Structure 1
Amino acid sequence: MKTISRGIPPTLLLLTVFLAGCSGSDPVRYAGLQSTAQLQPNTGDNASRIPYRYSKPVDWQKYHSVIIEPVSLYNGSDSQFDDMSSSDKQALASYMQQKFRETLQPRLRVESTPAADTLRLKLTLTGAGTTPQVVGTVTKFDLAGGPYNIVQSIRGGQGMMSGYVNYAVEVYDATSNQLLLAYVAKQYPNAMNVSATIGSLSAAEVGIDKGAEELAEMLK
């Protein structure tokens, strides 16, 4: 921290650290999910992004295929889309469907009918935020946004004026319908990722990319 804070006024540095804990729009235990009753507070290192989860001991290697249901747009009163347009929500849902399929395919065949070695994946888009154009890019370098984003980048936190995506993952055994894994999560680009500020949905899409990779890692 000493190396990055040299030359930053102490009051400004304190402000950036304070703001780093106030990202807002964190996922909740959404009332309308099938797995809500099973979700419990996450005490792991990734609890800031995945505050609630459920899992049971599973030998993932016995599963060789997956049924991916169409991504659902969550419409409960506790959704977190702010003022996002319907068209943007649909665009993100379509992107999420495509990205999770592409990312899981090297490990799991995508099927349409249940079998003994098949998982069923239900994805729910529960919230998202867009990146204000121009402003989102400028805050990577200006006097207030620059130090804040540097701190957030190191902490793994969300950047100032950056888009994000909130979603729920529910993984079932396709034949027994037993819930094997569930969690709610928030994903966003690295706080210093300038390319993710080009396009109002680009940051949310990067978040979806990271979410798909994270799930693929979990199912290994």
Structure 2
Amino acid sequence: MLMLGSLALLAGCATEPTQYGDLASSARLQPNTTDADGHVPYRTEITAETFAPYSKIMLEPAQVYRGADNQFGNISEEDRTALANYARKRFTEELGEQGILAPATGPGVLKMRLTITGVEQSVPVVNTVTKVLPVGLVLSGVQAGLDRESNFSGSVIYAVEFFDSRTDKLVYAFVTRQYPSALNIPASIRPLDAAKAGIDRGASKAAESLKALLG
């Protein structure tokens, strides 16, 4: 009971994404009123026709957000860059697997820009203990079923912006916060493992959704 009490005292509020004023899409981002699970708190307007003119995605090099409203905390510059590179790698793999990755700009090609805007590190020892203890497993199981973040688990926040590759006109954008499943114990071993697992999850979901949306 003492440990559970200590864990409760350590629990804090998760980092909440913002509209990030230095993003190209910032002025058009609006709160997502249909975001039931909290994964996509902001997005621009989208209709059934938004992606219809496009069939392929060209992925730009992933960026690290430099605005004053970034949410990296004490994450080092080296780790920020490493996560951006990891995001590009994973999105390239997932888009390629779906057969929608384009090597260059052209007709029917969207330019996709990933910008890592924030990271919340997991607390490795505490996070693993909460999942291994019987009560922790029960709580994590409930959170996993509800697709909610586990206590002490880390997360990654990034913006995804789509531009017409020939005109550079903004087509669609969203800000997302991704984290691993509450039962994903390996994602809690090192401080940035959860952020990488969140990128894995986000890349897979985004590629699947884009495959369905593209004309």
Same fold (TM over 0.5): yes
Aligned residue runs from structure 1 range 190-209, under 5 A: 190-209=181-200
SS of the counterpart of 1:172? strand
Is 1:108 the equivalent of 2:113?
no
**Residue of 27, 32, 36 corresponding to 2:17:** 27
In the alignment, what sits opposite 2:43?
53
In the alignment, what sits opposite 1:74?
65
Report the Cα offset of residue 152 of structure 1.
2.1
Residue deviations 1:83-132 (CA, integer Å, cap 9, x gap)? 111221111111001001111113313323x2111110011000012223
In the alignment, what sits opposite 1:98?
89
Normalised TM-score (structure 2): 0.84
Structure 1 spans left out of the alignment, 5+ residues:
1-11
Given the superposition, is the C-alpha separation of residues 79 and 59 from structure 1 closer, same or farther in structure 2, using an over 3 Å criterion? closer
**Residue of 135, 140, 156 corresponding to 2:131:** 140
Given the superposition, is the C-alpha separation of residues 45 and 165 from structure 1 closer, same or farther in structure 2, using an over 3 Å criterion? same
Report the Cα offset of residue 136 of structure 1.
2.0
> Quick one: which amino acid aligns to residue 99 of structure 2?
R
Report the Cα offset of residue 183 of structure 1.
0.5
Structure 2 spans left out of the alignment, 5+ residues:
none
Given the superposition, is the C-alpha separation of residues 45 and 118 from structure 1 closer, same or farther in structure 2, using an over 3 Å criterion? same
Alignment partners' CA distance in 2, 1:174 and 1:136 = 42
Is 1:41 the equivalent of 2:31?
yes
Given the superposition, is the C-alpha separation of residues 96 and 178 from structure 1 closer, same or farther in structure 2, using an over 3 Å criterion? same
Deviates more, 1:149-158 or 1:30-39: 149-158
Report the Cα offset of residue 37 of structure 1.
0.8
> Quick one: which amino acid aligns to residue 100 of structure 2?
L
In the alignment, what sits opposite 1:9?
none
Residue deviations 1:25-60 (CA, integer Å, cap 9, x gap)? 021111111001111111114462211101333364
In the alignment, what sits opposite 1:88?
79
Aligned residue runs from structure 1 range 131-210, under 5 A: 131-142=122-133, 145-210=136-201
Alignment partners' CA distance in 2, 1:67 and 1:104 = 9
> Quick one: which amino acid aligns to residue 97 of structure 1?
R
Tell whether the 8 Å contact from 2:92 to 2:101 is kept in structure 1 after alignment: no
Alignment partners' CA distance in 1, 2:36 and 2:43 = 11
Alignment partners' CA distance in 2, 1:179 and 1:28 = 19
RMSD over aligned CA atoms reads 2.4
SS of the counterpart of 2:133? coil
SS of the counterpart of 1:66? strand
SS of the counterpart of 2:34? coil
Residue deviations 1:164-213 (CA, integer Å, cap 9, x gap)? 10000001111122222111010001112112112322211110011112
Residue deviations 1:132-178 (CA, integer Å, cap 9, x gap)? 33222112133774454333222211111111100000011111222
